[in-house]
Chain A
């Protein structure tokens, strides 16, 4: 198999398979959550559950001052690499093109050198997060194989993208194929691991905000 064959494989059948597993898997996970439902609440509300839920979906992006003081590394590094990941995913020219050709929607992308720099920062951020996970007593105590697995899967997507863009692996079709394969592994693994938090965190935030909001507290 030539590197071009490999690239075509990752861009063709493997890509379709990964997207299908991701879409069906994630849909199943969401159904699993919502199908459990909630018991009717008979207590007279003090505030709006829905307004509280919607607000908390957004408000948890802003860390309260006490938590920032208690865990500045988590807040700063976590925010940096999450934003970096989203910027690289959604604002890199070839990714915007891919989304355009798949879904027919497009938006302006960032210049390549900017995304390149963001990617480098994100990779450093992920490395720092790993070191922190291995060294912080609470994180190390909580961490399971799955936590390291999803770190690895996320890291590989960023790293292979960076290597391909900077032509650090040759030939280029092989480099690009490896990056696409890494993205496919990410998509396949996502519904079966905590990577689901990409979607379910908003559901969780909604419920949290709704539970508190009903009692008149903005959480």
Chain B
């Protein structure tokens, strides 16, 4: 690395700090919240609210309801304030009722009451959206309802803090480039490989998540090895290394756009054609599906989850592996990756490459059950108890097939699985799929030489 690089102490981009969350508290108001909700109403939302017959089937798909048995956690009920506003202002009959003064009003107290329902007890896993008989995409509406919560000042403290840190420092956990830099040095020492930084014209810009950098440093080493092995041209960017988007979790389009723009700028600065989202489900949906809509432009590059890239390399014969894991392995599909993004077969192809004794959980792929930590639940300290309650569904699923280890590809899911399994004293280690692949690479003579074998 050059000296110029070393003297830069932070990867945070200088962006104006004036964001919706930093403006004075008085500017959050019921009026702003309702206006934000109005702006979110679209034809799908109107068709969904027009169709709900209160059958309650969505509750059976929700780990928060299933594991607590409390009807208030029924997914469609979490949208009641939004539904009332829609009825009052976007339906003929509702407008007549409003004129006559028969309407039920959305109040600040009501939004305060709904805050834990929309944040603490919903990981936006989208399972309810898969089972609703009339076809309501409830998760789609939860995402929208959160915009109204932020604008009215009813977002959880933990998520507000994460959003402020993300805007200020570039990372929701306040992690700076120098921390990552230390890790890069470790990886370079232990692998004998170079971790490319700010390499102009690389094929892939690799993004990371702070959670991963802190909890699972082995990921960076794994991709460094795999990409060297497969001859992939890649780079990290000092300008932007964070893939997650706190704005999307909390429900603030402005913050979401500001954070996505940093990725777009970093990709443009390096002239890369592809961006890789890390082992994080949320980051992938954020950057792959929501990002272009947040900045209202199509990207000049393609976005892939690391698992998609690895499967592509596998299909091209660029990953040569040796040996297989012989213990019983099962797989947790991150909701954001499988159900919400269609990456389902890729991880199974990769498992076949390295696992001899693989067993799928009974409901997997698009019908998988959430670990309980997504959608900002894990950044919201207040939700800790509910998060662990929701995990019981995953626990039951794991018990059904009793694997020796679980494999996943999302740092948030992995942390939750580790914590949850420990809480219930289940001795089942959790590994990341990328690392698992890296462990089985056939080493070239050159690589062996570096390690002095």
Binding site for B on A (CB under 8 A): 25, 28-29, 32-39, 41-44, 46-47, 56-57, 60, 63-64, 66-67, 70-71, 74, 78, 136-144, 147, 150, 192, 194, 196-197, 200-209, 211-212, 215-219
Q: Indicate which residue in B47, B91, B341 contacts A207 across the interface (CB closer than 8 Å).
A: B47
23 contacts between A and B (CB under 8 A): A25-B92, A29-B91, A32-B90, A41-B293, A42-B293, A43-B289, A63-B131, A64-B130, A78-B133, A141-B72, A142-B54, A142-B74, A196-B51, A197-B52, A201-B51, A202-B135, A203-B50, A204-B51, A207-B47, A208-B132, A208-B135, A208-B136, A216-B342
| 8 Å CB contact of B56 from A25, A43, A46, A136 | A136
Convert B421-447 into 0s and 1s, putting 1 for each residue whose CB lies closer than 8 angstroms to a CB of A: 000000000000000000000000000
Q: Determine if B137 and A201 form an interchain contact, defined as CB atoms under 8 angstroms apart.
A: no
Also in contact, A33 and B43, with CB within 8 A (given A208-B137, A217-B342, A219-B130): yes
> Which of chain B's residues have a CB closer than 8 A to the CB of A43?
288-293, 298
Residues on A with C-beta less than 8 A from B262 are: none
Determine if B366 is an interface residue (Cβ-Cβ < 8 Å). Answer: yes
Q: Are A39 and B42 in contact (CB under 8 A)?
A: yes
Instruction: Bits for B44-78, please: 1 = Cβ < 8 Å to A, else 0.
Output: 11111011111111011100010001011010110
B129 within 8 A of A: yes
With beta carbons under 8 angstroms apart, the residue of A44, A60, A138 that contacts B74 is A138
Q: Which of B44, B76, B290 contacts A204 (CB 8 A)?
A: B44
Taken together as a complex, chains A and B put the C-alpha atoms of A144 and B291 apart, in Å, by 38
Contact A56 B135 (CB under 8 A): yes
B50 contacts A29, CB within 8 Å?
yes
Which chain A residues border B344 with CB–CB below 8 Å? 217
The dominant DSSP class at the A interface is helix
Bound form: Cα–Cα A202–B61 in Å: 21
* In the complex, chain B residues whose CB is within 8 Å of the CB of A37: 42-43
B52 contacts A194, C-beta separation under 8 Å: yes
Looking at the assembled complex, report how far the CB atom of B295 sits from the nearest CB atom of chain A, in whole angstroms.
Answer: 8
**How far does the Cβ of B98 sit from chain A's closest Cβ, in whole Å?**
14
Nearest Cβ distance between residue A154 and chain B, in whole angstroms? 11
B135 A209 Cβ-Cβ under 8 A: yes
> In whole angstroms, how far apart are the Cα atoms of A64 and B293 in the complex?
31
- Give chain B nearest CB distance to A106 CB in angstroms: 30
CB neighbours (8 Å) of B41 from chain A are 36
- Measured CA separation A192–B339 after assembly (Å): 34
How close is A128's CB to chain B, nearest CB, in angstroms?
A: 14
- Whether A44 contacts B302 in the complex (CB less than 8 A), given A60-B135, A208-B137, comes out as yes
B43/A42 in contact, CB under 8 A: no
Q: How many A-B residue pairs have CB under 8 A?
A: 182
Chain A residue with the shortest CB-CB distance to B344: A217
User: Quick check: B71 and A74 within 8 Å, CB to CB?
Assistant: no
Whether B57 and A36, one on each chain, are in contact in the complex, defined by CB atoms closer than 8 angstroms, is no
Interface residues of B in 115-143 (CB under 8 A from A): 129-137, 140
State whether B341 touches A216 (Cβ < 8 A).
yes
Question: Does B99 have its Cβ within 8 Å of any Cβ on chain A?
Answer: no
Residues of B within 8 A of A138 (CB): 56, 59, 65, 71, 74
**CB-based contact A38/B44 at 8 Å:** yes
Assembly CA distance A138 to B53 (angstroms): 13
Task: Using CB atoms, name the residue of chain B closest to A59.
Answer: B135
Are the C-beta atoms of A211 and B137 separated by less than 8 Å?
Answer: yes
CB-contact partner of A205 in B52, B55, B134, B297, under 8 A:
B134
- Chain A residues with CB below 8 A from B92, complex form: 25, 28-29, 32, 192
Q: Are A211 and B140 in contact (CB under 8 A)?
A: yes
User: Which residues from chain B contact A67 at a C-beta distance below 8 Å?
Assistant: 57, 60-61, 131
B296, CB-defined interface residue at 8 Å: yes
Contact A60/B134 with A215-B340, A217-B340 known, Cβ cut-off 8 Å: yes
| Across-interface contacts of B302 in A (CB, < 8 A) | 44
Residue numbers in A under 8 Å from B42 (CB-CB): 36-39
Q: B297 touching A36 by the CB < 8 A rule?
A: no
Looking at the assembled complex, report how far the CB atom of B373 sits from the nearest CB atom of chain A, in whole angstroms. 21
- Taking CB as reference atom, which chain B residue is nearest A203? B47
The answer to whether A219 touches B366, judged by C-beta atoms less than 8 angstroms apart, is yes
State how many angstroms separate the Cβ of B339 from the closest Cβ of chain A. Answer: 6
Q: B102 in the interface, Cβ–Cβ < 8 Å?
A: no
Contact of A33 among B46, B55, B129, B290 (CB under 8 A): B46
Nearest-CB residue, chain B, relative to A82: B133
Q: Is the CB of A36 within 8 A of B43?
A: yes
CB distance A215 to B60 under 8 Å?
A: no
A212 to B367, CA, bound (A): 13
Other CB < 8 Å A-B pairs besides A43-B298, A203-B51, A204-B47, 8 of them?
A38-B43, A44-B299, A64-B367, A71-B57, A203-B47, A217-B341, A217-B366, A219-B366
Cross-chain contact B339 with A217 (CB below 8 angstroms): yes
- A4 nearest CB across to chain B (Å): 35
Smallest beta-carbon distance B283→chain A, Å = 14
A201: nearest residue on chain B (CB-CB)? B134
B53 x A211 contact (CB < 8 A): no
B363 within 8 A of A: yes
